[in-house]
Copies of this chain bind each other. A is one copy, B any other.
Amino acid sequence: MTNDASAQDKALTEVAGRGESYVADLVDYVKIPSVSTEPEHASDIRVAARWTVERLKRAGVPDVRVLETAGHPVVVGRLHHDPSKPTVIIYGHYDVQPAEPLELWVSPPFSPEVRDGKVYGRGSCDDKAGVLTAIQAVQAFTATGQMPPVNVTFLIEGEEEIGSPNLAPVLREHAELLAADLAICADGGIFGVGIPSVTVGSRGLVGAELVVEGASTDLHSGVYGGAVANPIAALARIIASFHDDQGRVVVEGFEDGVPPLSEDVRRAVGEQPVDERAELGKLGLESWWGDPDYTAEERRSVRPTLEVNGIGGGYQGPGVKTVLPNRAMAKVTCRLVVGQDPEAVLGALRRHVEMNTPPGVKTTLTPLPGSGRAYQMPLDHPALGVASEAMEAVFGRRPFPVWTGGTVPVAEQFQSAMGIWCLYYAFSEPDNGPHAPNEFYRVSMLSQGTEATVRLLAGLAQRPEAFEPAG
């Protein structure tokens, strides 16, 4: 305990003196246009992977390798110094979103500029600062002649912005190399500017395209209207059958396996300092809408949803065209919570559509890519306590749990592929604008995040129960 405390202090002193080099490193890293979705940046992806390798080595990580995948490579760095200590695997990604529209950037996206205490550039907050923060925290120990208080494996992928199609295969194929007791996701952020929070859950996803077909061709509505089933009208009836008139999903089997919301979760969701008026005003809305059995915040984060993302059929141009179309389609996606199986939800949806298809048309339901399960860390997980203490020491206020309503496959993949929990621990702030022009990361957060990560690693080493396998 004393040893670890002293080790942490040395590391924190190191962090305090490194601010300038952290900025220089981030600027260097952001210069590489590692856009994963654009084939013309394939060589930049390689450059970024190589840069990551070198940076890990510079941090004193002895075993660094590049794992090839069916897509872009994964960089793995291992600093395993004591088999008696637990191992954390830290996840991040070196790929970035496209920078377009370029004309909206004040400084070029891949010529990073420091203005007003912020590093501007594509990938600065998402996720190059996240990767560097984790490396810097480990280096804070090694640079002061120490080993980090736990064994550390870095897993830095290059396909996060295209949906991480090869992450789960890598976890499976390199199970031994990557074996760990707890994962830390260094991609993500906190609730407000300077307001810390810890993400404890994310929703799963499953989607399908629903096509309704009637006659073999489009028909004249004056000649066949009233006598031939209209696929748009049929699709509307099917869509209308998904919810009751208050917004509850009424697809039978949709919620199979979903336990009631615990009081702890409801309280934690309710205590998030959301400014509902401001949020509604921003959206141009007067009130929230949906299942009255739950609050809007619950519906947005810890309850499953079924939404129609798109619909199309017949004539959509200007003016009038009196066609009775022979086809209409809708895209439907469901956000899932813990307990829901994507395949089972798809099956429920399929049965519901079959049962609610009006006569005269036929329906086809085709699964959409990108399905995944929800993730929920137990609110009393010891790692959350350690994370809270570490953040409180840095930010001066205790973080609270938050849920992302979106789908972030990585945590659930660690859970299902490796049987370990994943702690979200990352520091981008809501105004940083990932995926948007003029993305930035605060210079001060580079040091604060590193300090918080040093404290996390030190704190985790004190809590063996934080490394219990995931349930």
Interface string of A301-336 (1 = CB under 8 A from B): 001110111111111110111111100111101010
Chain-B contact segment, one of A171-179, A238-246, A441-449 = A238-246
Q: Which residues of B contact A24 (CB under 8 A)?
A: none
Structural contact, A308 and B233, CB atoms closer than 8 A: yes
Partner of A229, one of B289, B297, B322, B328: B289
Structural contact, B322 and A309, CB atoms closer than 8 A: yes
Structural contact, A303 and B226, CB atoms closer than 8 A: yes
CA distance A331 to B233 in the complex (A): 11
Report the copy number of this chain in the oligomer: 2
Least CB distance, A406 to chain B, in whole angstroms: 3
Count of chain A residues with Cβ under 8 Å from any Cβ of B? 79
Given A215-B283, A314-B311, A407 and B331 contact (CB-CB distance below 8 Å): no
Q: For residue A221, which residue of chain B has the nearest CB? A: B307
Most B CB within 10 A of own CB, among A239, A291, A299, A315: A239
Most B CB within 10 A of own CB, among A220, A232, A235, A330: A232
Interface string of A333-348 (1 = CB under 8 A from B): 1010000000000000
A369 contacts partner chain B, Cβ-Cβ < 8 Å:
yes
Structural contact, B319 and A222, CB atoms closer than 8 A: no
Q: For residue A241, which residue of chain B has the nearest CB? A: B240
Interface contacts beyond A229-B247, A236-B311, A237-B240: sample of 5 additional A-B pairs, CB < 8 Å, sorted by A = A222-B404, A223-B300, A227-B290, A228-B283, A232-B308
Q: Which residues of A contact B (CB under 8 A)?
A: 203, 205, 207, 214-217, 219-230, 232-233, 235-237, 239-240, 242-243, 245, 247, 283-285, 287-291, 296-297, 299-300, 303-305, 307-317, 319-325, 328-331, 333, 335, 358-360, 368-370, 404-407
